Amino acid sequence: MSEKNAAVLIDKAEKVFGKDSDRVVALNGVSLTILENEFFTLLGPSGCGKTTLLRLIAGFEQPTSGRIHLHGKDISYLPPYERPVNTVFQNYALFPHMTVAQNVSFGLEMLEKPRAEIDKTVNEMLKLVQMEALRDRRTDQISGGQQQRVALARALAPHPKVLLLDEPLSALDYKLRKEMQIELKRLQNETGITFVFVTHDQEEALTMSDRVGVMNNGNILQIGAPHEIYDHPSERFVADFIGDTNFLTAKITSRSDELLTIKLSSGIEISVSAGNEVVGKDAVTLAIRPEQTTISNSVESTELQGVLRNIVYIGTDTHYHVGIDDESLFTVRVQNIHGRQQNFEIGQNVGINIDSNMVQVLKD
């Protein structure tokens, strides 16, 4: 195997909690490679196994089966205090009987670094997270955002090979969260440490990550750069979980190596690239992002036609909900640019234009 650049290699990790009727499979044979210096995000709904995966890497849990390697070394069964990995906990878990500076120096003291080096590193870290002024405060005398920074400094101070972050921003309010997202990205760049970040917030995952792993039910469904995940979701869950998506059922009428010809319910045929394997299937599901479509008054030469059911104005955009058959509504998102708005009336017939490059054929 050529894992030259792998920081963390997870090989078919399985984690089962409980026995018999209490049995929960938290991780269902997950394999994953996280590269050095990467900002990697595990994204998925609550209960999908993100924290469990992180705890396996940190050593707070041990896999039921499977292996975990760190820079080529098998660490599957090492205790946490022997792994050069640090964690930023969801509730920060700062030591309440220590000052800010004492919290930050704790890891270095446990590593028995010389005092001078500890002091120097603590100063650097406090400076890095802009907490020098509050270094002698007790941790219950600082705000949530400041606690967050201390937790970061504490975990970064021993300069771990990998930093694990379990939904560290979820307790912060919106504005602070946005600031911290940028801050985290900066810290990752400056320290060059591999970050493994866990969140259930798709927007957060897309803005911060080099690569994202989308999880559901103890499985990793898709791994890729944010734009890959967003533009080319491999399956319905991924497309649905990240952003808004229209799903259409359609039939494959012909296929070549690179192109599929697909007949929409309207009878119109479009050609799309054969990205995902849909071998041996004729009926497929298509995912189409609302912003990759346009709406028009004319129903001539449009891919879909329907009746306008609803108009939702949300500031930057307007959403048009179009009934394309008896059951489903198709959403078209149009940016509100001054002078370019069109007038539509609810109940009128409209046409929908679809950019066939942005149509994604799903695996299931």
Partner 1 sequence: MYAVRSGPVLVKIANMMFKQKFSVTRMPGFSVVAMICFFALYMPLAPLVIYSFNEGNNIALWEGFSLRWYGSAWENELVQGAAIRSLIIASFASVFATIFATMAALGTTRTKPYRGQMTIYAMINQPLMVPEIVTAVALLILFALIKQATNYHGFAYLIIAHTAFCIPFAYLPIKARLEGMDNTLEIAAADLYARPFKTFRRITLPLLLPGIFAGAMLAFVISLDDVVITEFVKSAGQDTLPTYMLGQLRRAITPEINAISTVLLGVSVLLVTLIFFMSRKRGN
Ligand X SMILES: Nc1ncnc2c1ncn2[C@@H]1O[C@H](COP(=O)(O)OP(=O)(O)O)[C@@H](O)[C@H]1O
How many angstroms separate the CA atoms of 49 and 218, rounded?
5
Site membership for partner 1, residue 127 (CB under 8 A)? no
Contact between 97 and partner 1 per CB under 8 A: yes
CB of 54 to ligand X, least distance (A): 8
Residue 26 engages ligand X in binding (rule: CB under 6 A): yes
CB 28 within 8 A of CB 219: yes
- Residue 83: closest CA among 190, 196, 209: 196
| Residue listed under structure tokens 């660490």 | 75
Q: Using CA atoms, how far apart are residues 319 and 157, in angstroms rounded to an integer? A: 47
| Contact set for ligand X, span 33-52 (CB under 6 A) | 44, 46-52
For tokens 């080096």, the residue is 117
Q: Does 93 bind partner 1 (CB under 8 A)?
A: yes
Q: How many CB atoms neighbour CB 152 within 10 A?
A: 25
Q: If binding is defined by CB under 6 A, does position 301 make contact with ligand X?
A: no
- Do residues 164 and 87 touch, judged by C-beta distance below 8 A? yes
Interface with partner 1 (CB under 8 A), residue from 29, 47, 66, 80:
80
Q: Which does 186 bind (CB under 5 to 8 A by kind): Mg ion, partner 1, ligand X, none?
A: none
77 is a site residue for ligand X (CB under 6 A): no
Residue 52 vs 266, nearer CB to Mg ion: 52
Residues 6+ apart with CB under 8 A from 309: 321, 322, 323, 329, 346
Report CA Rg, the chain.
25
Which C-beta is closer to ligand X: that of 50 or that of 177? Answer: 50
- 77 contacts which partner out of partner 1, ligand X, Mg ion, none, CB within 5 to 8 A by kind? none
Give the C-alpha separation, 9 to 161, whole Å: 13
Q: Among 41, 86, 245, 266, which residue interacts with partner 1 (rule: CB under 8 A)?
A: 86
- Judged by the rule CB under 6 A, the positions of this chain that interact with ligand X are 17-18, 24, 26, 44, 46-52
Binding site residues, partner 1, CB under 8 A: 58-60, 79-82, 85-87, 89, 91, 93, 95-97, 106-107, 110-111, 140, 154-155, 158
